[in-house]
Amino acid sequence: MPGFLLNTATDTLLKKDFGEYREKGQPHPFMERHSLGHLVPFNHQDFDLWTKATQLGLRTFHESSGFIVGGGLDDVWHNPITDEIHIVDYKSTATKRNKDLTALETITLEGAYKSGYKRQLEIYQWILRQNGFNVSDTGYFLFVNGDQHFADGMLEKDKDKAQMNFEVQLIEYIGDDSWVERKILDLKECLVSSDYPDHSTSGFGPKGNKECEYLTLFKGLNENT
């Protein structure tokens, strides 16, 4: 199954944007425009490793379960005055037009699948705290929103190039990682149990209020065998 190649490309470009200012030890102009000039992209020796999701570059060993918990984050911003760090997660999307049809719809963190975004950020907060960092509860989601409604097109007339315009939106989020420890232990209990849990009938489907996608899959398989 192909990866999310366009999403990966926007992540890579954003890392280049903030990486330039990481080396300088200065806030990116985008950060200053959003009243975050007191923060700078975190220039830590392990930062590149932390971004490598397939290698669990950001990780911790959870002794109570025996699990290695990890992933790969997008960015970290640092407050040099308080020595706090803030987790930043890049997201790519393409929203519809607003009700007035005058602009792209404003992005929010509401909706079933976006609860996964929040959990992801909170797990990163928890992992970095386990590694001894002073992590702020305040994190940020940086959305790039592809404009397919108000742009006249994307092809350049005189060369084989194309450009897609994006609106950028920064959303502050106050995380709470208090659930992580308990959930890891619940996962361990489930894995070592001789009984498997029932599929969820609501809250975990494509639209959030639908049944578990695996339950839907297995029902379909049973109906066709």
147 lies in a domain? yes
Q: Are residues 144 and 222 in the same domain?
A: no
Residue 25 vs residue 219, higher pLDDT:
25
Dihedral, CA of residue 53, residue 73, residue 183 and residue 171, to nearest 10: -140
193 lies in a domain? no
Q: Are residues 138 and 168 in the same domain?
A: yes
Give tens-digit pLDDT for 18-27: 999 999 999 9
pLDDT confidence bin for 68, thresholds 50/70/90:
very high
186 lies in a domain? no
Rg (CA), the chain: 20
Q: Are residues 143 and 203 in the same domain?
A: no
pLDDT confidence bin for 112, thresholds 50/70/90:
confident
User: What pLDDT score does 123 carry?
Assistant: 98
Q: Are residues 128 and 42 in the same domain?
A: yes
pLDDT confidence bin for 2, thresholds 50/70/90:
low
Q: Are residues 26 and 75 in the same domain?
A: yes
For the question of whether the overall pTM of this predicted structure is more than 0.85, the answer is yes
pLDDT confidence bin for 205, thresholds 50/70/90:
low
User: What pLDDT score does 209 carry?
Assistant: 72
Q: Are residues 27 and 62 in the same domain?
A: yes
Taking alpha carbons only, the member of 112, 114, 109 closest to residue 209 is 112
Q: Are residues 160 and 225 in the same domain?
A: no
pLDDT confidence bin for 105, thresholds 50/70/90:
very high
Q: Are residues 50 and 137 in the same domain?
A: yes
Listed ranges 95-99, 211-215, 219-223; the one with the highest mean pLDDT: 95-99
Neighbours of 44 (CB within 10 A): 14
Mean pLDDT of 71-83: 98
Per-residue buried b or exposed e for 109-129, using 16+ beta carbons within 10 Å of the residue's own CB: eeeeeeeebbebbbbbbbbbe
Q: Are residues 170 and 215 in the same domain?
A: no
Q: Are residues 102 and 209 in the same domain?
A: no
Taking alpha carbons only, the member of 39, 29, 133, 132 closest to residue 88 is 39
Of 82-91, 139-148, 207-216, least confident by mean pLDDT is 207-216
Residue 200 has, within 13 A of its CA and on its CB side, a CA count of: 11
Q: Are residues 131 and 204 in the same domain?
A: no
The β-bridge relationship of strands 138-146 and 58-62 is: unpaired
80 lies in a domain? yes
Which domain covers residue 225, as residue numbers?
Answer: 199-225
pLDDT confidence bin for 136, thresholds 50/70/90:
very high
pLDDT confidence bin for 5, thresholds 50/70/90:
confident
Q: Are residues 219 and 119 in the same domain?
A: no
Say which amino acid occupies 131. Answer: N
Task: Work out how many domains the chain is built from and give that number.
Answer: 2
23 lies in a domain? yes
User: What pLDDT score does 213 carry?
Assistant: 81
